[in-house]
């Protein structure tokens, strides 16, 4: 049993006669009849009942045809995937990002990418930087955006974006009247801090130490979005990524620049293998979308 025999059988079932199937397939009628008989011998039962030159699908043949239709649909899908791989290097693309970019930058980049490659499926995962890094190293992702505190061994890493941080506070907060926040403004103030391993937090702590100030840390969290929600709940103020914070402005969040400033630095990660055309195009889409948000 081979694919050509199965396709010939499907044609006979579809067109009703060997002559019409032969015409559709560009084969001779004897060749179609021979292919059907060879298939019947290989599977061990008759696909057609033959009487006075007419072929009628047998009960077994009708059951077999249902399986054939499902199998050939899968084969068509494989052929389509092969065409995409031939043309683009892959039939789909797997991307991951930090939570901070999952509601703005990356969706916008995916929309850009899809306009150029409407036939390519995109899989998006959202997780922490260390988990994403391990997935890239294990070749479970094609491209990712993470914070810069990760170990970059076993992956290819490129600088992606450096974003100046801002201080988030609720409307009516005493510091909301100021245009720029200085370290002295935060001394002993209730403060929602980034996670201890975050490089932006390390940068801020070095500035606080140099100025002899100590904000009162009441909560620690890894995500700017969580800091924004905690700030709006009145827990304290906190340093956040302004790209993430944009979605909270309508709810009353107030953002102010800081001097000296600190930054969020991110990386674009790839597996250590040759990058396909669609991976390069997704990287371009991410960079283009980031440029619009600056």
pLDDT digits (tens, 9 = 90+) for 93-124: 999 999 888 888 999 999 999 999 988 889 99
**Can you give the pLDDT at residue 83?**
65
pLDDT tens digits along 211-263? 999 999 999 998 888 999 999 999 999 999 998 898 899 999 999 999 999 99
Domain with CATH 3.40.190.10 in the chain: 92-162+266-293, 166-261
180: which DSSP letter? S
In sequence order, the β-bridge partners of residue 216 are 190
The fold adopted by the segment(s) 166-261 is: D-Maltodextrin-Binding Protein; domain 2 (3.40.190)
Determine how β-strand 143-147 pairs with β-strand 121-126: unpaired
Instruction: Identify which of 104, 100, 117, 113 has the alpha carbon closest to the alpha carbon of residue 143.
Output: 113
Backbone angles phi, psi at 170, to 5 degrees: -80, 160
Nearby residues of 126 by Cβ (< 8 Å), 6 or more positions away: 96, 97, 98, 99, 102
CATH class of 3-88: mainly alpha
Domain with CATH 1.10.10.10 in the chain: 3-88
- Cβ-in-10-Å burial (0-12, 13-18, 19+) of 218 comes to middle
> In this model, does residue 279 exceed pLDDT 80?
yes
**Can you give the pLDDT at residue 191?**
97
**Can you give the pLDDT at residue 51?**
84
- Residues comprising the chain, all counted: 294
Q: Assign domain 92-162+266-293 one CATH number from 3.40.50.11140, 3.40.50.300, 3.40.190.10, 3.40.630.10.
A: 3.40.190.10
State the Cα–Cα distance between residues 273 and 136, nearest whole angstrom.
Answer: 11
């Amino acid at each position: 049993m081979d694919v050509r025999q199965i396709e010939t059988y499907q044609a006979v079932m579809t067109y009703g006669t060997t002559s019409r199937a032969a015409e559709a397939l560009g084969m001779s009628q004897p060749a179609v009849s021979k292919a059907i008989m060879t298939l019947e011998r290989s599977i061990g039962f008759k696909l057609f009942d033959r009487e006075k030159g007419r072929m009628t699908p047998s009960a077994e043949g009708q059951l077999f045809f249902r399986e054939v239709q499902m199998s050939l649909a899968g084969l068509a899908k494989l052929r389509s995937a092969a065409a995409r791989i031939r043309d683009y290097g892959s039939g789909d693309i797997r991307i991951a990002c930090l939570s901070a970019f999952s509601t703005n930058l990356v969706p916008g980049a995916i929309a850009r990418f899809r306009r150029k490659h409407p036939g390519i499926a995109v899989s998006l995962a959202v997780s922490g930087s260390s988990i994403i890094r391990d997935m890239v190293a294990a070749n479970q992702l094609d491209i990712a955006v993470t914070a810069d505190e990760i170990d970059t061994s076993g992956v290819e890493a490129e600088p992606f974006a450096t974003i100046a941080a801002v201080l988030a506070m609720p409307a009516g907060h005493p510091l909301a009247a100021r245009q720029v926040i200085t370290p002295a403004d935060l001394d002993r103030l209730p403060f929602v801090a980034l996670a201890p391993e975050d490089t932006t937090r390390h940068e801020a702590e070095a500035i606080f130490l140099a100025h002899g100030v100590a904000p009162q840390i009441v909560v620690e969290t890894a995500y700017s979005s969580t800091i924004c929600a905690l700030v709006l709940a009145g827990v304290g103020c906190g340093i956040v990524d302004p790209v993430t914070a944009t979605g909270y402005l309508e709810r009353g969040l107030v953002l102010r620049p800081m001097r000296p400033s600190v930054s969020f630095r991110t990386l674009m990660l790839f597996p250590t293998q040759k990058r396909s055309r669609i991976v390069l195009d997704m990287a371009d889409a991410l960079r283009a979308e980031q440029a619009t948000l600056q």
